[in-house]
Amino acid sequence: MRKIFLVAITAISVSMLFSCKSQKNGSYTVHAEIEGIFGSDVIMMIEDPSSPQGFRIDSLKASSDKIKFTGTIDTVRIAMITVDDPRHMKMSSEGPIPAMPVQFFIEPKGDIKIKGDVKRMHLSQLKGTLMNDQLNSLLRASEQQQILVDSIIDLKRNVQMGGLDTPELNEQIKIEYMKLVDIYADFVKKNNDFDIAPFIIKMYISQFYENSQVKELYNQLTDRVKNTTYGKFLSDDFYETPELAVGEYAPDFALIDKDNKRVQLSDFKGNYLIIDFWGSWCKPCRMSNPKLVETVNKYKANGLQIIGIAADKNNDEWLSAIEEDKLNWTNVNALNEQPIDVLRLYSIRAFPTKIVVDPEGKVTGIFIGDDPQFYTHIDELYRQ
């Protein structure tokens, strides 16, 4: 059965992306014509594994609706443009939310052209390189369904700002978003020789489909595409470890926490436990942390425990996020030198992911993204 959950933001976190084989440095130019962007602070983020944050940033003040970024790049990399402007933020019960960014590829000697509207930057027209032409084809194939999903999410925010619960809208978003993911999958099947196909599977589909479904899509790719860097990167996802399921025992592990103390899963037996996979770089994770802290504090006296397992390249930023977000529980960084690859052990492919374990060590729930059903699930456990 598919993993169904609420998705409020479809933007891909740049710091978790990947890059192609290094080439010679080459210049690039990004021409963007975005209606309504005049006067906004515009930020371009480019994936960069050598940076502590996982990306580098360029910014400018838009003096018109036409902007231009230039620079040099060593290989094909994913990038995004967003705006920092209160005029273009959407209000929610948790505060203002920035407009969704436009995502595209940058490559040496690339002349990329972007045309869109600041209200729907994520649906902008792309052209100028093979990868961007192919990504544009995907955006056009999925555009109407994406607009529908966006409209339901906007409605949900408005209802929540009125202080009302949204269970029916939550369910509708899940249904319509899965239709969007199915469009992505259908696009891959029809364009299985596109260089972008494994990228689509990895970044748009894999966290929504079961591993067997992802592998089936991968198997439909041509041999040429499977042997690209993106194709090889995708194949690494097919872990030998089977995916965890509700009702199974959570795999035991021993890790070293931020205080250099040994932490073992079995140490938490006897109480309900939340295993929170997150990252300081992950905006949805950070946005959900206040409510997570509130939930843990609410049931701490009843024995609820939590261990946070981060995937942070920058240890200082991880520690700062723990302090800033007041995550006063056991914290481990999976990307520090550890005796076990816990991300692979638990087949973690998206952040945040929260796994709830009962006092006997069995999984009672797996929640990917900032899923409100997670909080409902915890409430239900303590009503029993």
- Each residue of 212-227: pLDDT tens digit? 788 899 999 999 999 8
Count Cα atoms within 13 angstroms, Cβ side, for 236: 13
Query: How far is C-alpha 233 from the chain's CA centre?
Result: 17
133 and 205 part of one domain: yes
> pTM for this one?
0.67
- Domain termination site, one of 179, 204, 235: 235
pLDDT above 70 for 16? no
Residues 194 and 282 in one domain: no
Domain count, the chain: 2
* Cα separation, 286 vs 277, whole angstroms: 12
Higher per-residue pLDDT: 147 or 166? 147
Q: 2 in a domain, yes or no?
A: no
Residue 105, domain member (yes or no): yes
Q: What average pLDDT does the segment 326-339 reach?
A: 91
pLDDT at 136: 97
Question: Which of 235, 267, 300 represents a domain boundary (last residue)?
Answer: 235
Mean pLDDT confidence for 319-335: 94
Q: What is the pLDDT of residues 28-65, one digit of tens each?
A: 999 999 999 999 999 999 987 666 566 788 999 999 99
d(CA 364, CA 348): 17
Q: How far is CA 137 from CA 51, 111, 140, 219, 334, in A?
A: 31, 18, 5, 22, 37
Q: What is the dihedral of CA 212, 213, 215, 216, to 10 degrees?
A: 120
> Both 163 and 306 in a single domain?
no
Instruction: Write out the E strands in 118-243.
Output: 125-127
The closest alpha carbon to 346, from 298, 277, 280, belongs to 277
Based on the domain organization, do 264 and 190 belong to the same domain? no
Q: Which two tokens stand for residue 54?
A: 């996982």
**Can you give the residue range of the structural domain that contains 270?**
254-381
Count of C-beta atoms within a 10 Å radius of residue 242: 10
Establish if 6 belongs to a structural domain: no
Co-location of 106 and 31 in the same domain: yes
Do residues 123 and 212 share a domain? yes
Interval 180-188 mean pLDDT: 97
One domain, residues 227 and 274 = no
pLDDT at residue 237 in the model: 64
Q: Are 209 and 181 in contact (CB under 8 A)?
A: yes
* Neighbour count for residue 151 (Cβ, 10 Å): 11
Q: Are residues 165 and 291 in the same domain?
A: no
Answer whether residue 130 is part of any domain. Answer: yes
- Is residue 304 very low, low, confident or very high in pLDDT (cuts 50, 70, 90)? very high
- Per the CB < 8 A criterion, the answer to whether 349 and 206 are in contact is yes
Q: What b-and-e string marks burial along 174-187, b requiring 16 or more CB atoms within 10 Å of the CB?
A: bebbbebbbbbbeb
What is the average pLDDT across 286-301?
Answer: 93
CATH number of the structural domain spanning residue 367:
3.40.30.10
| Joined tokens for residue 328 | 């006063």
Q: Which residue type sits at 359?
A: P
Burial class (CB in 10 A: 0-12, 13-18, 19+), 165: exposed
- Report d(CA 254, CA 263) in Å as an integer: 5
**What pLDDT shows up at residue 242?**
56
Q: Is residue 109 part of a domain?
A: yes
Same domain, 274 and 226: no
Task: Report percent pLDDT > 70 for the chain.
Answer: 90
- Nearest-angstrom CA–CA distance, 57 and 46: 6
pLDDT of residue 11: 36
Question: Which of the four pLDDT bands, split at 50, 70 and 90, describes residue 201?
Answer: very high
The alpha carbon of 36 is separated from its chain's Cα centroid by a whole number of angstroms, namely 27
Q: How far apart are CA 326 and CA 268, in angstroms?
A: 21
Average pLDDT for the chain: 86
Residues 292 and 196 in one domain: no
Say if 293 falls within a structural domain.
yes
Q: What is the DSSP string of 18-80?
A: --------EEEEEEEEEET-TT-EEEEEEE-TTSTTSEEEEEEE-SSSEEEEEEEESS-EEEE
pLDDT band for 238, please (50, 70, 90 cuts). low
Mean of pLDDT values over 197-208: 88
**86-90 CB contacts, 8 Å cutoff, 24+ apart:** 87/40, 88/36, 88/40, 88/118, 88/119, 90/154, 90/157
Q: What is the pLDDT of residues 110-132, one digit of tens each?
A: 899 999 999 999 999 999 999 99
pLDDT of residue 49: 66
Domain match, 218 and 259 both: no
Count of residues making up the chain: 384
Phi, psi for residue 366 in degrees, rounded to 5:
-130, 125
User: Is residue 301 one of the residues assigned to a domain?
Assistant: yes
- Whether 302 has a pLDDT exceeding 90, the answer reads yes
In this structure, is residue 7 part of a structural domain? no
What's the rounded Cα separation, in Å, for the pair 4 and 205?
12
What residue has token string 């701490």? 300
Same domain for 157 and 196 = yes
More confident residue, 240 or 263: 263
pLDDT average, residue stretch 178-193: 96
Q: What is the pLDDT of residues 59-88, one digit of tens each?
A: 999 999 999 999 998 888 899 999 999 998
Which of 198, 223, 204, 239 has the alpha carbon at shortest distance from 76? 198
Domain boundary among the residues 182, 207, 235 is at: 235
pLDDT exceeds 70 at position 23: no
